[in-house]
Chain A
Amino acid sequence: MVPKSGLIPALSRNGNNAEAFEPGRVHLKTNILEVRTSSLLDTQSASRLLPEGGYPMKIFKVLLPLTAIVLALGLMSGCSSSSTQVVATGQATTTDSSQQMESMNEVDVTEQLNAAFPVTLQTPTGDLVLVDQPTRILSLSPTATEMLFAIGAGDQVIAVDDQSNYPPEAPTSDISGFSPNLEAILALEPDLVVHSYLPEDIEQGLSNVGIPSLTQYAATSLDDTYLQITQLGTATGASAGAESTVQEMQQKIDELMDSVDVPDGSSLTFYHELDPTYFSVTSSTFIGQVYALFGLTNIADEAEGAGSGYPQLSEEYILSQNPDLIFLADTKCCAQNIETVTERNGWNVLSAVIEGKVIELDDDIASRWGPRVVDFLEAIASAVEQMTAVETIG
């Protein structure tokens, strides 16, 4: 059925996107050797194609010293050798996670194997057809990694990017999710790449080689999160796991919202800190929306005009607003905590500091839109609960 000659190299030479979307061929188990050679060829032809994209020579001049350093430091990174290790780690942890996995999901995976496929997914970049169930997934988004493992598709994940640190059993690689290397990706021979953003040339490179790439942009609401989890369920054949994950999240969030009694008209204000230079989030962002669920007033919304949803606030503005609650999302990146905030010049007069209403968040949980957003909501809920309790007594 698979014509050897025309397998993939031809596609990469033509750069034909439409034909490239027949990825089922790539991971036919019986053809493993053949696939290996073909993807090697692909790598070479793809890299040969890149310069023709018309990079100006100047870039190479600039890159030359950089390349020398990269080579010199090659021992530290060791691209090719460590990617093999990653595969090995991936397989080792696969058994772990499948043991931990709920039996229901396990049954679902085997039941649905090949049954639901091919599937068509709607992505921001167009429809994506997956002919077979992916078994070698590469996740370049920490949020997608958390989602994949939560829905029980963790054992189909062969590698995740360098920022994906949860769950612990996720097979971390040194591939950067921010500026990934096409060859490093190809060397892993993934049959699905999940990411929240890829540079144009990497996207094109994957498409040339015929590796399906699923884009899931940063969510802007909880509904987006649910949709993305459901979509990953469809893409991996773990629909049941995705459904139960979403249901569980919704149920927990409903319980949280019920437990917190936010009095109407009470305007609790808060400041969410992304780093010690006072970058914050407005209500137009996912994080901001989560706070809005509790009816909290975001002091950063005044700076909405500065664009982007992530303004850098001026310190005296934060002080003058005297927010009721201060949420620190820079406890891991920048080692901030209640003590460091108290020691800041002028901050000791803030009521949130005096009354101990400085909440230390986990940076990762407060910046990803995955299943652990429930933990984020819990932290906010308990802070709000304490505030309203104080108010009632007062």
Chain B
Amino acid sequence: MDSNKKKEQQEAPAELTSGLVAGASLILLASILASLLFGPVSIRPDRIFLEILNRLPGISLDSGLSTIQEAIVWDVRLPRIILGLIVGGLLAVAGASYQGVFRNPLADPYLLGVAAGAGLGATIAIVSGATNGEGMFDALPIAAFLGSAIAVAITLAVGGAVGRSTSTASLLLAGVAVASLFTAIQTYIQQRESATLRQVYSWILGRLSTSGWDEVLMILPYAGISLIVMFSMKGALDVLAVGEEEALSLGIRPRRVRWIVIGAASLAAASAVAVSGLIAFVGIIVPHAVRLVVGASNRLVVPLSFFIGASFLILTDLLARTLQSPAELPIGVVTAFFGAPFFLFVLRRRSDGII
């Protein structure tokens, strides 16, 4: 993997050109528009289009939409699309960063116990909400976020203390152990409170929650901070990929870079999981798909993963909403259904070269 990266960097200087950004933005915009225009309820797309224009400043048009149809477009579809954008982007960038920092193509955002921690937190919130009759849907994202933050903190504390500066293996192993422990506790609680089984299960399968803008506002600060940090570290990751000594000679401290990236990626994954449950595969397949097109440089892969991850999740959510309309499919099912075959394809293509 290292040699390959070196080769590509020598061939072409990996810089984020405005052409690439424009292309990725176009894909994202098209996904957003498609998701606004189409859904389980068929509303004439031309009217929605007029309605969108109507909302632009300085334009006043009569779209002919009923009050309920307007509510569907602006209060149901739009918040969900924006949430999909943020969650998909976060998961994909976190996945790309993890893969860069661990130099392991299988690394995904849930690696260090984020998923198990969030699962435990959510289960506790659902169970306690069910027993004392208090609103569970406000407490759930907070509990899930705390759960994953605690799980990652334990992983980092244990794995970081055991391992020497060059070893990421102990961190990964600590992540596996912490995840098993948290999953065991979660399963135990879930079995004890079987009445809440469906809620827990439905959360675990992942869902772009639909209670309006609350979730969006809630994760926006965490998303912003973690994205800025991960974007600013993308160059350092490329230097790390060349080698530790080269990095040191360039004045980059590998250990510090690793900790910052891991921390930011975990924050991103935790906030995504908190509002959407466990959505599988976005964090793995999107960065790999981006690499197939633009090469392995983190300077390209990390930022472009945001656009492609956001588009991917928005479009899969459109499928989740419409495939069995008016019933919904859990979005985790859809991402995995498309993600797993694609991942196998990537794996096969790369098995001769990189892995």
Contact = CB atoms under 8 A, between A and B. Distances in A.
A177 B74 CA distance: 43
Contacts of A332: 133
A312 B328 contact: yes
Contacts of B337: none
Contact of A275 (B180, B198, B210, B324): B198
B195 A302 contact: no
A210 interface: no
Interface string A65-79: 110011001000100
B194 A178 contact: yes
B67 interface: yes
A14 interface: no
Given A303-B326, A317-B325, A319-B72, A65 B198 contact: no
A66 to B, nearest CB: 5
B82 to A, nearest CB: 12
Given A306-B324, A314-B327, A69 B188 contact: yes
Interface stretch (B84-92, B134-142, B241-249): B134-142
A316 B39 contact: yes
Nearest to B212: A345
B326 A176 contact: no
A223 B134 CA distance: 36
B295 interface: no
Contacts of B330: 312
B69 A320 contact: yes
Contacts of B135: 334-335, 340
Interface string B248-273: 00000000000000000000000000
A163 interface: yes
A319 B195 contact: no
A275 B129 CA distance: 13
Nearest to A320: B41
Interface stretch (A235-243, A276-284, A285-293): A276-284
Contacts of B137: 276, 334
A344 B212 contact: yes
B26 interface: no
Interface string A362-374: 0000000000000
Contacts of B74: 346
Given A316-B72, A316-B76, A346-B76, A176 B194 contact: yes
Interface string B25-53: 00000000000000111010000000000
B327 A313 contact: yes
B176 interface: no
A315 interface: yes
Interface string A294-319: 00000000110110000111111101
Given A179-B191, A333-B130, A346-B72, A316 B40 contact: yes
Contacts of A278: 328
Nearest to A301: B326
Mostly helix, strand, loop or mixed at chain B's interface? helix
Contacts of A340: 135
B77 interface: yes
Interface string B125-155: 0000110011111000000000000000000
B165 interface: no
Interface string B304-318: 000000000000000
Interface string B186-203: 011001101111110010
B188 A317 contact: no
Given A66-B188, A346-B72, A163 B40 contact: no
Contacts of A347: 71
Interface in A209-257: none
A277 B326 contact: no
B129 A315 contact: no
A305 B184 contact: no
25 contacts: A65-B184, A66-B184, A70-B188, A178-B195, A178-B197, A179-B191, A275-B202, A303-B327, A305-B327, A306-B327, A311-B324, A311-B328, A312-B328, A313-B328, A314-B326, A314-B327, A316-B39, A319-B68, A333-B130, A335-B133, A340-B135, A344-B211, A345-B76, A345-B212, A346-B212
Given A275-B202, A319-B41, A345-B76, 10 more contacts: A65-B180, A312-B327, A316-B72, A316-B77, A317-B41, A319-B72, A320-B43, A334-B129, A334-B136, A334-B199
Which A-B residue pairs are the 6 nearest by beta carbons?
Answer: A346-B75, A345-B212, A178-B194, A306-B327, A317-B326, A346-B71
